[in-house]
Amino acid sequence: MTFRESDTSDRRTRPADHAASAADDAQPVRLLGIVGSLRPHSHNKRLLSAAALQLPPQTTLTVFPHLKRVEPFDESDEEPQGGGPPGANALLAAIRAADGILFVTPEYNGSIPGVLKNAVDWASRPTPATSALANKPVAVIGGSTGMFGATWSQQELRKALKLAGARVIDAELAVPSIDTAFRDDGNLANPASRRRLSEILQILSEEARTTAAMRAAAAAAG
Ligand SMILES: Cc1cc2nc3c(=O)[nH]c(=O)nc-3n(C[C@H](O)[C@H](O)[C@H](O)COP(=O)(O)O)c2cc1C
């Protein structure tokens, strides 16, 4: 998708009061945040915190805190319906409970951090049509201390998520020099990046709301 880089406004566009109240009446959306860095002072964790500051109305964001406890994927540890060991089961339960997922990834050696790829492998089973990620709206953002902002890692993560059955939002936020990218208030310093983050969250929230409503309707119809 295309973003308007020239728009330096920090505010979401709400053309009329009735639009705001319509959004406030909408069904709540639960997003799950998964960060591909394990270290406590991760810049990508700060990026997820910046996202939490810009959520659309009626949208909550919960962080999955136990990526380090997800066991290395081993097909021989798996249950027939996927999962098996406790760390992997906790991840799958969190994914299933969420209406949408925001992945935030650094880049390691031009690719996805191993812990994050491991999580996607668990969540892809047993098939893309029946996995925890099946038809789940997901967005991928990320940053690196380098000048490209983890773009390769993001591209590869999107590819893996699509193969795992997720509904991947076609939008990117790459944050270069991420170690100097934040203001004191926790927001991204670059106005275009703030705007882009806001737009991605808006799209993810709307996709998650629509997909959750369709799931609920299908379940009610039996
Ligand atoms: C093992 C390793 C490999 C890295 N490879 C890359 C890379 O390929 N591209 C890049 O831009 N930065 C790379 N970096 C630097 C990361 O962008 C930087 O460490 C960043 O802060 C990691 O994200 P975090 O702060 O969320 O932990 C690498 C860092 C590590 C530890």
What does pTM read for this prediction? 0.91
Interval between CA 144 and ligand 1 midpoint (Å)? 6
Atom of ligand 1 nearest to the CA of 43: 25
CA atoms within 13 A on the CB side of 206: 9
Asked whether 66 lines ligand 1 (CB < 6 A), one says no
Q: Is the CB of 114 under 6 A from ligand 1?
A: no
Tell whether ligand 1 has an atom less than 6 A from the beta carbon of residue 43.
yes
Domains of the chain: 26-70+81-220 (3.40.50.360)
Rounded to the nearest integer, the mean pLDDT of the chain is 91
- Name the residue with the closest Cα to ligand 1, atom 3: 108
Other residues' Cβ atoms within 10 Å of the Cβ of residue 75: 8
The two three-digit tokens of residue 29, written as one number: 């959306």
pLDDT digits 0-9 by tens, 33-84:
999 999 999 999 999 999 999 999 999 999 999 999 999 999 999 999 999 9
